[in-house]
A and B are shown apart, each in its own frame.
Chain A
Amino acid sequence: MNNPQLNKHGELQHLLSTEGLSASILFKILDKADSFLNVAEGREIKKLPLLHGISIFNIFFENSTRTRTTFEIAAKRLSADVVNLNISSSSASKGESLLDTVDNLCAMHADMFVVRHAQSGAAHLIARHVAPEIHVINAGDGRHAHPTQALLDMFTIRYYKKEFHNLRVAIVGDILHSRVARSQIHALTTLGVPEVRVIAPKTLLPGCVDKLGVRVFHDLAAGLRDVDVVMMLRLQNERMQGAILPSAQEYFKYYGLTQEKLALARSDAIVMHPGPMNRGVEIDSSVADGAQSVILPQVTFGIAVRMAVMSTLAGVG
C-alpha cells in the first residue's frame, strides 16, 4: 500500500498522521523546528520570508481556538498569506459537501490546507482529492490523528530529555477517543522510546490497544512508577454520558494526576498536556502549575514545529 503522505521521491507531501513516517522524517522536522525556535527567540524580527506568496487555508470543520491560532501564527511568521475559515458556521451548514468546499478553495489558488474535522479520515479524503501540488496538514481528524500535536510533544520531550531511546513514557486518560494519543504512540515508538505505557479504565481504551505496541495499565500508580514523561489527555465532559464513566469526581480520584501520584514517577519527570485542561478532572492545579509541568512551553514549541511542518511541505528552508 502506498503511503499517501509521501510523494514518489519519498518526500513528505502531506502530513496526515505520524503513522508510517520514518524516524528520519520526524527528526528532520524536529531539527528544523529547533532552528525556528532559535530564530524566534534570538532575533528581533520574528518573520521569515520562506513562504512568501503562498496561500494557506485553515479550514476548521470543528471549533478550535488554540490549534488554529498557532497554525496562523506559524504561517504568518513564515510570511504566508493565511485565510481562516470556520466551516461549521458557513458552507457545511448550507449543505455543501466537504469536497465541494475544498474544490472551491482550490479554485481560489490555495497552496496548502490545514484541516480539522470531526470525522476520522477527513484529511486523507481531502489529500486524495486535491491536485498533486497542493499540500494538506491534518490538524485533527476525529479520533484518528493529530500529527502536529504529537510532533510538538516529541519536540518538548527532546528539549527536556535530549534522547528518546532511554525513556519510559506514560499516556494517561481517554485513549479511546483521542487522536492525540494515537499520534503520540506512533511518534514515540518510531523515535525509539522503548516503553510507552497507556493508563486508563477499560472503557476509555480501544479494542486492540495492545496492538499499537504499548503496555496497558489500569492502575495509575502502577503505570506512573519510574516514568520519565507523563502525557495527560483531556477528558471531555460528555464521557460521563453513555455509561463510559460514572463521574468526574471518581475519575479524578483514580486517574487524576496529583502531586502525590506524580511522586511515583522519576523525580525529574516532566508533565505534559495538549490542552485545553480540565483542572480537577484529569489534572490537579498544583501539578499543572507545578515545577515539573512543561505545558506552556509545549504551546510555544507548537509554533516552531508548525513552522517546520509547513516549510517542509513547501520544500523550503
Chain B
Amino acid sequence: MNIRIKNGHLIDPKNNIDGRHDLFIMDGRVAAVGIAPADFVAQQVVDATNLVVAPGLIDLAARLREPGYEYKATLESEMNAAVAGGITILSCPPDTDPPLDEPGLVEMLKHRARELNKARVYPVGALTYGLKGVELTEMAELADAGCIAFSQADAAITDTRVLMRSMQYAATFGFSVWLRPQDSFLARDGVAHDGEVATRLGLPAIPVCAETIALATMLQLARETGVRLHVCRVSSADGVALVRAAKQQGMPITCDVSANHVHLSEMDIGFFDAHCHLVPPLRSLRDRDALRAGLLDGSIDAICSDHSPVDEDAKQLPFAEAEAGATGLELLLPLALKWARQERRPIADGLARITHQPAQILGLDAGHLSVGSIADVCVFDPDVFWQIKPAALSSQGKNTPFLGVELQGRVCYTLIRGQLVYQFQPKLSQ
C-alpha cells in the first residue's frame, strides 16, 4: 500500500527536519520525504493540512495489565488507547500477575499483542523471580522470548548483593537493567512526598532520601559491574542531580521521568485527591522544576506515560488506601507538548523526548522518519484543546490527575508499519 501524507508540517527531531514536507510511504516503510519517488502512485492520501506529521511515539512504561489484572484493563483496550495516543512502540514493566519472569509468559504477551496489530510491544522482563529480589530469572531465555531489558518494576531489591549480581549477570549478556530508585525501608507505608502537604494532611510520607540513597547504590553498583543502567521515574531535584553528575563522569546511564511529574507537584493533592496518589509520589514544586530542567539539559532522556490504569472502585477510597497510578497513554503527547511550550522550546524538543530518545534507551532503530525506516507515524493537531474526561479516553482506566483539564494537542492519525490503525473521530458525547 502506498500512502502519501500531504501538506503536513513534518517534524523529525532525530533528522533535524522541521518544515512543510509530504511523507511518502511504500510497503510499510518511509519511501521519501518531500518529493515523491519516481513512479510513486498513492493508493491512499492523508491530508495533514495544519497538522504535524511526526514519528510514532515511543513509551517506555505502559502497564497493559495482562496477564492477571484484566479487571483493570485488557490488552485490547490499552492497545487501542496507545494508538489513540499516537504511540506505536511501547515497553511494559514486568509487574503483571504472574510477573513476566518466564519465557512462556513473554511469548504469550508478544503473541497476543501482535495479533491485535497495533503498537509493537517490547516487554521488560523481571530481573528476579516473582520480583522478589532473591533469585535471578533466566534472563538470556527471556531475552530470546522478546524481553528488551530487565527490571524490578516498583519492587526494590533490598539485598545489595543480589542487586550487584543481577547487574553482573545482565552485563554478561549486554542486557540493560531498568530500575526505579526507592529504598523500601525508608518508603515503607509512605503514600506522599515528605513535605508540606503530607505534613498538613497527615499522610504517611516518603522522604527524598528514599530515592537518592537507592540511586547512589545503583550508580555505584553500575559503575562496579559495567551494566547499562536505565533510571526509571526519577522524582526529585536531588535525584536529577545524582544522574547529572554520573553522566558528567561519563557513565553510560539513561533516565526517564513520568509525564505526570513534569507538570504536577504535591500541591495538586489538594484535599486528598486520590488521582494524585502516584508512584513515585508527586514531590515539591522545586523538585518538579528540577525535573523540567533535567529534561532540558539532557540529564533526563525521555518522558514516559507511566500508564497505570486503575479501576474506579480502587480510587474511591481514602487517599492512602486508594490504588496508586494514573492512565497516561493518551496524555503523553499533550503533556510533552505542554512541557516544550512552557519551556519556550520548539515542538521538536518535546517530540524528541517521546520518539528517538526513548528508542535509544530501548536500543531500537526507531523514532524517526529516515528513508527506509519502518513507517510508524503520528499525525496530530498541535493547537486543538480537548478536555480530559472519561468519555474522551479509550483506555479502560479513566483515572488521571488531569481529569477535567483542557490539554492542547491531539492525535488525528496513527500509522503503524505504513497502515492506518487509528483515526480520530469526534464522539457525540464530546
Contact = CB atoms under 8 A, between A and B. Distances in A.
A129 B318 CA distance: 12
B194 interface: yes
Interface in B157-214: 194-196, 198-205, 207
Contacts of A98: 317-318
A236 B320 CA distance: 21
Nearest to B320: A119
B316 interface: yes
Contacts of B270: 1
B203 A211 contact: no
B320 A1 contact: no
Contacts of A208: 194-196, 198-199
A141 B270 CA distance: 16
Contacts of A206: 194, 198-199, 202, 205
Interface stretch (A31-39, A120-128, A154-162, A306-314): A120-128
Nearest to B314: A97
B319 A209 contact: no
A176 B229 CA distance: 37
Contacts of B321: 119
A243 to B, nearest CB: 10
A135 interface: no
A145 interface: yes
Interface string B282-321: 0000000000000000000000000000000100111111
Given A124-B272, A208-B195, A19 B200 contact: yes
Given A121-B272, A124-B272, A142 B317 contact: no
B201 A207 contact: no
Contact of B205 (A129, A142, A207): A207
Contacts of B313: 97
Contacts of A182: 200, 202
A316 B371 CA distance: 77
A125 B271 CA distance: 9
Nearest to B204: A143
A124 B317 contact: no
B198 A144 contact: no
A4 B271 contact: yes
Contacts of A117: 318
A179 interface: yes
Nearest to B284: A208
A14 B279 CA distance: 31
Identify whether the interface residues of B are mostly helix, strand, loop, or mixed. Answer: loop
Nearest to B268: A1
A99 interface: yes
B271 A120 contact: no
B318 A121 contact: yes
Contact of A122 (B199, B200, B205, B318): B318
A125 B203 CA distance: 14
Nearest to B272: A121
Contacts of A19: 200
A212 interface: yes
Interface in A124-167: 124-125, 129, 141-145
A136 to B, nearest CB: 13
Best-surrounded residue of A97, A121, A142 (most CB of chain B within 10 A): A121
A22 B194 CA distance: 27
Interface residues of B, number: 23
A211 B317 contact: no
Interface residues of A, number: 27
A208 B197 CA distance: 9
A209 B271 CA distance: 18
B194 to A, nearest CB: 4
A142 B274 CA distance: 15
Contacts of B194: 206-208
Interface string A107-125: 0000000000101111011
B316 A125 contact: yes
A145 B318 CA distance: 14
Contacts of B318: 98, 117, 119-122, 125, 141-142
Interface string B312-345: 0100111111000000000000000000000000
A217 B318 CA distance: 32
A209 B319 CA distance: 21
A145 B200 CA distance: 9
B198 A121 contact: no
A124 B201 CA distance: 11
B183 to A, nearest CB: 15
A235 B195 CA distance: 23
Nearest to A183: B202
Given A143-B203, A206-B205, A207-B207, A121 B195 contact: no
A316 B202 CA distance: 32
Contacts of B198: 206-208
A212 B272 CA distance: 18
A209 B203 contact: no
B311 to A, nearest CB: 12
Interface string B257-292: 000000000000011101000000000000000000
B427 to A, nearest CB: 27
Best-surrounded residue of A4, A117, A206, A209 (most CB of chain B within 10 A): A206
A155 B274 CA distance: 34
A233 to B, nearest CB: 13
Contacts of A143: 202-204
Given A98-B317, A99-B316, A145 B272 contact: no
Given A120-B203, A206-B199, 11 more contacts: A1-B270, A1-B271, A121-B271, A121-B272, A124-B271, A125-B274, A141-B318, A142-B203, A142-B320, A206-B198, A206-B202
9 contacts: A120-B203, A120-B272, A124-B271, A125-B274, A144-B201, A144-B203, A207-B194, A207-B198, A207-B207
**3 interchain residue pairs of minimum CB distance:** A143-B202, A121-B272, A119-B318
